[in-house]
Amino acid sequence: MNKEQTITGVIRGTGACVPKRILDNKEIAGFVDTSDEWIRERTGVRRRRIAEKETTVSMACEAGRQAVEEAGISPDEIDMILVATGSPDQIFPCTACRVQEALGADGAVGFDLNAACSGFLFAYNTAQAYITSGICRTVLVIGSESISRLVDWTDRGTCILFGDGAGAVLLQAAEGKTYRPAAHSDGSGGAALTGPGVRNRIRSIDKDGRESKTEYITMNGKDVFQFAVRKVPQVIQEVLERNELFLEDIDWFVLHQANARIVDAVARRLRLDIGKFPMNLQDYGNTSSASIPILLNELNRKGVLKKGQKLVLAGFGAGLSWGASVLDWDLER
């Protein structure tokens, strides 16, 4: 083993699953006061997928199954299943246990992890920690969301943004360079983007027999926008410095797909060509913790990613939370 080489988690397979139902901007404009043009200009989103029959579990299972299949391993080789989700079908059993059963990953321990739209990145870092420490050899990391169920479909400020889906990567221990991630949380900014609380799921009945209002996602769009365009370039610079790399060393910047204007602003602030920032949010909207693995899977299946290329993954979202990680792409297609 070369001195620089250590044991690291290498992506051996990817997968994704999105619901069949397509909801385009024109259809949204039929039930809230908005327009296709407004949504496209302010967000870049043209359409999104909405889970009808699909669930957070079913999409996670399908994305995970594809990643395992591409890796060419048997499910009983999986040591751990991590599912990042902020919209599980149930609080428990956790989504990961359901995936474990469905895939027949009898030897795997599974748990869910919620860091909203940063969830996949933080789950990926967690998987790397288990692999580099030697505790696990094979970890399936999934981001899966039915976030449309948490959205207030009468609120034009939020309902235009989100979509459902799942993505997965199968990590396996191999000789390679271990990169240190950069990740942060700032709970003081939490009010900028919130989801429903458990206490609000138990609806109370008032004295007139009316049910209390169920909570939905609330967001201060401007605050979240400013947070993202300030913190994402910073954390990308931070992760590169930590690993003694430069912006020029990176082939692809795979960012959480929240808004095309955020991705554009990050590229501009870093003085980088927007072509290095692949996007698919026009088709899926913001799928929260699923966006990075759905995009990775698309780039992998299209053969855009080449063995030996360096990627930066960057996530950000509610918490507030944000982070970035570096990886060497090692899949040949």
Active-site residue numbers?
117, 256, 286
Q: Which residue's CB is nearer to ligand COA, number 130 or number 227? A: 227
CB of 198 to ligand COA, least distance (A): 21
Counting contacts by CB under 6 A, is residue 226 touching ligand COA?
A: no
Residue 115 is encoded by which pair of tokens? 């860091």
- Distance set, CA 165 to CA 44, 51, 154, 191, 263 (Å): 18, 8, 22, 25, 20
Candidates 40, 73, 89, 157; binder of ligand COA (CB under 6 A) is 157
Q: In a 3-state reduction of DSSP, which class is residue 208?
A: coil
Counting contacts by CB under 6 A, is residue 111 touching ligand COA?
A: no
Candidates 156, 230, 242, 301; binder of ligand COA (CB under 6 A) is 156
Decide if 319 contacts 190 (C-beta within 8 A).
yes
**C-alpha–C-alpha distance, residues 117 and 318, integer Å:** 7
Residue owning tokens 């949010």: 281
Q: Which residue's CB is nearer to ligand COA, number 8 or number 286? A: 286
Counting contacts by CB under 6 A, is residue 222 touching ligand COA?
A: yes
**C-alpha–C-alpha distance, residues 150 and 286, integer Å:** 13
Candidates 120, 130, 225, 252; binder of ligand COA (CB under 6 A) is 225
User: For 224-235, b where at least 16 C-beta lie within 10 A, e where not — what string?
Assistant: bbebbbebbbeb
| Subset of 12-71 contacting ligand COA (CB under 6 A) | 34, 38-39, 42-43
Counting contacts by CB under 6 A, is residue 224 touching ligand COA?
A: yes
Which residues of the shown chain bind ligand COA in the complex (CB under 6 A)?
34, 38-39, 42-43, 117, 156-157, 160-161, 219, 221-222, 224-225, 258-259, 286, 317
